[in-house]
Amino acid sequence: MKIVLLSGGSGKRLWPLSNDIRSKQFLKVVRNEEGKKESMLQRVYRQIKGASLNEGITVATSAAQEESIRGQLGEEVSLVVEPERRNTFPAIALSAAYLYFEKSCPPDETIVVLPVDPYVGEEYFQMLQHLDWTVQTGMADIVLMGVKPTYPSEKYGYIIPAAGHNMGEKETVPIFPVLEFKEKPNLIAAQEFINRGGLWNCGVFAFKLSYLMDIVQRDMICRCYADVVAQYGKLERTSFDYAVVEKARSVAVVSYNGEWKDLGTWNTLTEVMEEEPIGDVSVSKDCRNTHVINELEIPVVVMGAKDMVVAASPDGILVSDKVQSSYIKKYVENRNLRPMFEERSWGEYTVLNLSVDADGNRAVTKKKFIQAGKEIGEARHQHHLEVWTVLSGRAVISIKGRKHDALAGDTFTIERGVLHSLRAEEDTVLLEVQIEEAED
């Protein structure tokens, strides 16, 4: 069994902490058993390893998120990077081709596809063995995991199983043929689906590798992984549900009755967060059920707030009632502003200032943190020069092949087109100013 983790999302529902690059799965706002903060991506990856399923984990993502994933999971993580963002069907198809051509997985290998951001208990990952068993016995072409609902919800699609036809190897693990799928309903319809035994569709799929490769090879001629990458645009821009699951001859669902939460909104995310504020925050004693997260280097004071979320980051500031926070997407989806905070494989940076003068000259000021032992690899910029000022730490900076020891207070100017790199000997903070002159 091989596991593919789907990492995508635009980060609109958890703005301003999330953005197009730092989506919700990268936010370090939950704690592990040791009390240390970790992201949802790190949590799921750790849980998979804890369930002894780490032999073959591949993360499918976009180029914009590649460095964030490597920064959180390490350089050795196996990544499939989409040439362009399309949807879950192309991403899963590309991952299947990667496993088939690059990893030489046998055609009858079970592939299990999971989202990277559910908040789940350990038993969730134990259930994957039952998906594998169902695929390998040939009971169905596609096997899904369905979550037993705890309340009628309008947020999820529903899987309606054929009642009374348990295909499971054990009665304690219900596995049913799928009768039909239902889109996100209103509350009345949701209750009707639950009364019929309906399960929440949590986006977990399992199938034999050969099954999906046959679909890929119907769409294109491919003799290697590079062929699929080159023809990626030919794959239909649609979801895996529509392109594959709903067209399959036989579909089964494994019923999961354990902990599962979709932490896609502030309202649900704060349910699993520690109560104390995060960052430079002061909260009055009369605040109730209020979460405050501050990533800025200026203080935030909250007084008398009830059932609210306050979040401040370089991308913006949110002050919202928790229930209303679920509707934030429509207020920010048309704000096409560049992300002001990014995680990279070497550390992170914050954009402090963007300015354009009267002559059209553009300046971007960034504060960069580079972890000890990490490198900002060789690069040359044709359109702007850079000025680096070391604020703290110790690094070795290479400019035109010449190495310079860099300590706090040192400043370096890197002209346009000049090859340069940096290696941090210890944790290093530097101020970077990019200056791009206006074209004549």
- pLDDT tens track, the chain, 440 positions: 999 999 977 668 899 988 877 888 898 888 888 878 899 999 999 999 888 776 789 999 998 889 889 989 988 899 999 999 888 999 999 999 999 999 999 999 999 999 988 899 888 998 898 999 999 999 899 999 999 999 998 888 999 998 766 665 555 678 889 988 988 889 999 999 999 999 999 999 999 999 999 999 988 889 999 999 999 988 989 999 999 998 999 999 999 998 898 888 898 889 888 767 889 999 999 999 999 999 998 999 999 999 999 999 999 999 999 999 988 988 888 776 778 888 888 999 999 999 988 888 899 999 999 999 999 999 999 999 999 999 999 999 999 999 999 999 999 999 999 999 999 999 999 999 999 987 76
C-beta of residue 262 within 8 angstroms of C-beta of residue 321: no
DSSP annotation of 245: G
Do 146 and 161 meet the contact criterion of CB atoms below 8 Å apart?
A: yes
Q: Token pair of 308, please? A: 């609210």
- The CA–CA distances, whole Å, from 258 to 31, 173, 195 equal 20, 12, 19
Fold matches, 2-266 and 346-436: no
Going by CATH, does the domain composed of 346-436 fall within 2.60.120.10? yes
Amino acid 350: pLDDT: 93
Residue 128 contacts residue 53 (beta carbons within 8 Å): yes
CATH of region 2-266: 3.90.550.10
Ordered by start, the domain boundaries in the chain are 2-266, 276-322, 346-436
Q: How far apart are CA 271 and CA 211, in angstroms?
A: 39
263, 269, 270, 282, 324 from 30: Cα distances, Å: 11, 9, 9, 20, 22
Report which of 47, 22, 17 is spatially closest to residue 32, judged by C-alpha positions.
47
Which tokens is 83 given? Answer: 């040439």
Of 215, 209, 206, 281, which Cα lies nearest the Cα of 244?
Answer: 215
Q: How far apart are CA 192 and CA 172, in angstroms?
A: 24
Structure tokens at 362: 């553009």
